[in-house]
Amino acid sequence: MTIVGSTYFRFGLLLAATVMVAMWPRSSTAYTPEQQQACSPDAMRLCSAFIPDVDMITACMIRNKAQLSPPCRVFFGPDPEERRDRRERRRARPEN
């Protein structure tokens, strides 16, 4: 029996291919040039300790959302409290 024909070799090949595919960068996690331009100064000012870890920078910026510049804050959704308040205001409006 040859090495290439062995079950373990095939399993190892399949495992290696799966790991490679899982590690490919996804376009959905990439930031647009507009987001980078709007948020880079805030990232440097508020979260420079976490550079180059994008996930940590994002978490830091979410924690410091109140301190973000208006152009950058646009890219971060409303706080859960803000969403709840908006939802309650919509419910409180009389129907026409």
Count of C-beta atoms within a 10 Å radius of residue 61: 21
Per-residue pLDDT of the chain (96 residues; tens, 9 = 90+): 455 567 777 777 766 667 665 665 544 456 788 888 888 999 899 998 988 888 888 889 889 988 999 888 888 877 666 667 777 777 877 665
Residue extents of the structural domains in the chain: 32-96
Residue 35 CB contacts under 8 Å (≥ 6 apart), including other chains = 75
Query: Sign of torsion, CA 3 11 25 48?
Result: negative
Q: What are phi and psi of 17, to 5 degrees?
A: -65, -40
Q: What are phi and psi of 91, to 5 degrees?
A: -70, -35
- Taking alpha carbons only, the member of 68, 77, 70, 79 closest to residue 44 is 68
CA separation, residue 26 to residues 23, 37, 39, 64, 80 (Å): 9, 21, 21, 26, 27
